[in-house]
Amino acid sequence: MGCPPGTTAPSERLTIVTSTQSPERRRTTPTRPGDRIFRGTSLAAALLILATLAGVAVFLTAEGIPGILASPDEVKHGTGFVDYVAPLVFGTLLAAILALTMAVPLAIGVALFISHYAPRKLAAPLGYVIDLLAAVPSVVYGVWGISFLAPALVPLYRWLEDNLGFVPLFAGPASATGRTILTASIVLAVMVLPVITAICREIFLQTPRLHEEAALALGATRWEMARLAIFPYARSGIISASMLGLGRALGETMAVAMVLSASGVVTFNLISSTNPSTIAANIALTFNEATGLTVNALIASGLVLFVITFGVNFAARAIVDRRKDFSGAN
């Protein structure tokens, strides 16, 4: 500082500075125009994101309301909006939940394999291989599902119908093309698997090393170590990863639109040729031929999908954030 050393107490110095036009004042960093512009731009960009998110909700609502209010004879499907969207919601939830029941256990297994079972040196490349699954475009999944997976599953569906036909899920008659809701769910499961795996893997790797070593030191086998140290630590992470996967599965469009031969019914029969449709697939399949209020009804169904996925993602992220605050292990 420029003041003579040891002569004034801090409070006195302050009064001196404020009472006179001393050179001290000019030492505070001046706000340069460049700084102000830069700060303003970045704040504007951040606020634009909030505006976009709000815009998605606002524009979908604005365009969707006429579709919700349309009378049955004004739209192509010829029913009220609730009757129209309810089977679609059912199909969406059914496909997504089926996909999750397959994907979550598999994803936990794969994540555990990569983080704790695979040789150290192989772990990173193996994780990269799984990430490749996430990079495959959805339309490629659709092409694969429709021309490889669906025909390949037909014998399995025949077998299920013959041997497990008494279970309502497999009542049949088995689809001859294999383009059933179960096939669509399998494709969905493959698509959400890398999402769930990636998050689980990260969390498994974050398990405190001391917890793991303590378990091993007490004589636990590797599996007991996983049960005692890893899973309790990672539980909320696994839940939120599954919910993020659920959000992805709910909103996935093309694979379902291509693989599923949908007729919009409400049924739990997984292997027949009459299947429930999903919101997203229904939009993709009918949007290009739709006119007038039918378009608005489709946008309204999109709004329903947005609300569902937003809710799921919101809850998942909230769990992740809470975990960050209270995990206590860090």
Site for other proteins in 165-204 (CB under 8 A): 190, 193, 197
Of 16, 18, 59, 101, the one binding other proteins (CB under 8 A) is 59
Residues of span 283-312 touching other proteins by CB under 8 A? 283-284, 287-288, 291-292, 295, 298-299, 302, 305-306, 309-310, 312
- The DSSP bridge partners found for residue 275 are 262
Single residue of 12, 15, 35, 213 touching other proteins by CB under 8 A: 35
Residues touching other proteins, count (CB under 8 A): 92
Q: Is the bond into 23 cis (omega within 30 degrees of 0)?
A: no
Q: Determine the Cα–Cα distance for residues 104 and 123; give it in Å rounded to an integer.
A: 20
Q: 240-279: which residues touch other proteins (CB under 8 A)?
A: 244, 247-248, 250-254, 258
Minimum distance, C-beta of residue 282 to other proteins, in the bound complex (Å): 10
* Cβ atoms 254, 284 nearer than 8 A: yes
**Based on CB atoms, which residue is closest to other proteins, 16 or 58?**
58
Any contact of residue 114 with other proteins (CB under 8 A)? yes
Window 211-240: residues binding other proteins (CB under 8 A): 221-224, 226
Nearer to other proteins, 167 or 218 (CB): 218
Specify the amino acid at residue 103.
A
Which stretch, 69-77, 79-87, 108-116, 158-166, contacts other proteins (CB under 8 A)?
108-116
CA dihedral 45, 49, 54, 60 (to 10 degrees): 110
Residue type, 125: P
Find the binding residues for other proteins in span 140-169 (CB under 8 A): 140-144, 146-149
Instruction: Report residue 248 as tokens.
Output: 């992805």
Taking the complex as a whole, the smallest distance from the CB of residue 116 to other proteins amounts, in Å, to 9
| Nearest distance, CB of residue 12 and other proteins, angstroms | 29
Q: Contacting other proteins (CB under 8 A), which of 72, 137, 155, 168?
A: 137
Q: How far is the CB of 121 from other proteins (least distance, A)?
A: 16
Q: Are 67 and 298 in contact (CB under 8 A)?
A: yes
Cα 130 to chain centroid, rounded: 17
Q: What's the min distance (Å) between Cβ of 330 and other proteins?
A: 16
CB atoms within 10 A of CB 283: 20
3-state helix, strand, coil in the chain (%, to 5): 75, 0, 20
Structure tokens at 280: 């997203």
CB of 11 to other proteins, least distance (A): 28
What radius of gyration do the chain's Cα atoms show?
A: 28
Q: Binding residue for other proteins (CB under 8 A) from 65, 93, 123, 126?
A: 126
> Between 81-112 and 293-326, two packed helices, what is the crossing angle to 10 degrees?
40
